[in-house]
Amino acid sequence: MAIPNSKTEQTMFDLIEACRTGEAFNNITNNFYGKVEERIMKTSDFYHPGVDQDKPALRNSATFYLDQVRVGEISANKYSPKYESIRSKGITTAGWAILDQDPNSTWEGKVLDGCTRIILARTCEEKKHVDSTIPVTLNVITDPLLIRTIQKNCTSFQLLANDHPPADASSADDIKKFIRGLINDEPAAAHTHTRKRKQKIIDHVYRMTSHTVTESTIKKYVTEVYNSIEKHTNGVKEYREPQSRAEVVRKALERGKGAVKVKPSGWTPGKQQYVHEDWKIYQGSPGRGSFDKDFGREVARKAAGATEPSVYVFRTDAKTPQTVQTSQQAVFDKINKNHSYLGVTIFDHVFALGQETGVNEGALLTESDVRAHATKQQLKIVSS
């Protein structure tokens, strides 16, 4: 996934603008006239292999294939603002598709942008939250050379196409995934990238998202991704993505450690990923300022007479195994100091989330676990 050259970038900008204004469909002098069609379709014209895998009839009748990864994450709860927007207004932004160029394909075309809206619109219909079917407007690229250009730069085009109102815009995770792809596609390792190279990535990503994201935010995302890659290279698990982090923490608590063993069926469904019927669970990164807030909440909860035992699971932002160990010990030191000052235990159980790849990743570590492991590693260094 190389960064497109300036000419290709401009072609993508011009294509999207020509379709937005209608020039591509109505003005025969426009560069894209005859190369892209505007189609009004039904939600039943589309099929996604993940979402629709249990719908063989739809598989046989649909003509367009939904080709965007994040469709697999769709639920009415996760996309509540977008779902309600579609429910009340319909789909207000046209999606993008290309004609399928594979002579052996059974599909007429592939949708590159708008997959989320299509699936949510169909969900509205299936739940009878709307009185009639929801029309789907699709810009279908038909010119083989233009299709080839878009396919070669598909991820950049998808990001640019998603640069519309916030309810439909690319998420931070989408953008970071795109940035990671650009970095990993480089022949040189990430740690050798120059400031000039990093700025080139920032400039391109910002041009693709400038209507919905500030340049300073893109700079922050690029820095986060480079830091994440550095940690991974050093053998440190970051657990930055919230959903996958929640899955790791929940599974660790379900496996149990000492007196803590969480019942798998006790989790409350929904956005609050750490709500459990038998336990008060906190998860955070103290270096990001969450610890003091969580500690204060637990003090207030205990003062109010809450009886559910509390568990605090923390991770660090350290970049190497050695600094992870130092940071973990520092957090336990701080908690012990707070408990000593107050003369009472606030968090009933405290665990560091193991972050050393192939050593303790995903495990719940007690204070004694952390200190014993750090001592062992120090002895190894001394004896080597």
Where do the structural domains in the chain lie, given as residue ranges?
6-165, 170-233, 242-383
Whole-number pLDDT of residue 248 = 94
Q: What is the pLDDT of residues 190-206, one digit of tens each?
A: 889 999 999 999 999 99
Whole-number pLDDT of residue 70 = 52
Q: What is the pLDDT of residues 117-168, one digit of tens each?
A: 899 999 899 988 888 899 999 999 999 999 999 999 998 998 888 765 544 5
| Cβ proximity of 145 and 100 under 8 Å | no
* Residue 270 vs residues 159, 281, 311, 324: alpha-carbon distances, Å: 28, 15, 20, 31
Q: Which of 20-24, 60-64, 181-185, 321-325 has the lowest mean pLDDT?
A: 181-185
| Cβ proximity of 4 and 151 under 8 Å | no
Whole-number pLDDT of residue 371 = 95
* pLDDT-above-70 percentage for the chain: 92
Whole-number pLDDT of residue 330 = 95
Choice between 61 and 273, residue whose per-residue pLDDT is larger: 61
SS (H, E, C) 78-122: CCHHHHHHHHHHCCCCCEEEEECCCCCCCCCEEEEECHHHHHHHH
Rg for the chain, CA atoms, rounded: 25
Angle at the Cα of 367 from the Cα atoms of 363 and 371, rounded to 5 degrees: 95
pLDDT band at 1; cut points 50, 70, 90: low
CA pair distance 263, 244, nearest whole angstrom: 19
Whole-number pLDDT of residue 31 = 95
Q: What is the pLDDT of residues 353-365, one digit of tens each?
A: 999 999 999 999 9
Whole-number pLDDT of residue 167 = 47
Assign 209 to helix, strand or coil. helix
Average pLDDT on 106-123 reads 91
Residue with tokens 């429910």: 87
CA pair distance 66, 74, nearest whole angstrom: 13
Q: What is the pLDDT of residues 284-319, one digit of tens each?
A: 998 777 899 999 999 999 999 999 999 999 999 999
CA pair distance 331, 281, nearest whole angstrom: 17
- Mean pLDDT score across all residues of the chain: 89
CA neighbor of 98 nearest in space, from 59, 140, 126, 129: 140
Assign 313 to helix, strand or coil. strand
Whole-number pLDDT of residue 271 = 63
pLDDT band at 4; cut points 50, 70, 90: confident
Adjacent-strand bridge partners of 95: 138
Answer whether residue 235 shows pLDDT above 60: yes
Assign 364 to helix, strand or coil. strand
CA neighbor of 262 nearest in space, from 311, 315, 332, 314: 311
Structure-derived torsion over alpha carbons of residues 230, 362, 50, 97, reported in degrees to the nearest 10: -20
